[in-house]
Amino acid sequence: MDRVALRGLKARGHHGVFPKERAEGQTFIVDLSLGLDTRPAAADDDLAKTVHYGIVAQEVVAVVEGEPVDLIETLAERIAQTCLKHAGVQEVEVCVHKPDAPITVPFDDVTVTITRSRV
């Protein structure tokens, strides 16, 4: 399976279990790897036969900026389902980064990574 990847999509969301996270929001970063067959698009040089990653990026940002959820696991699932709505996408790996998570010790990042497919 071929891959189309988007890395470092940034959006501000109000996700988290703590009131401060919901009130103030924070930046979330999303990495995607979309699994699809790109041969038809390449053969005909036709955007309509592949996934339009610009549209996917806009949709993912809308999910992050949208309805708040408690868990980034839930956010990752919503993003995955949004990506799978595109006809050619057979599989998606979603990694949601929460670099400003409310942790009391030094850390670089918190991530949740999921893989979902049509099967």
Catalytic positions are 98
| Rounded (to 5) percent helix, strand, coil in the chain | 35, 30, 35
CA angle 99, 100, 104 (to 5 degrees): 115
Name the DSSP class of 64. H
Longest distance between any two alpha carbons in the chain, whole Å: 53
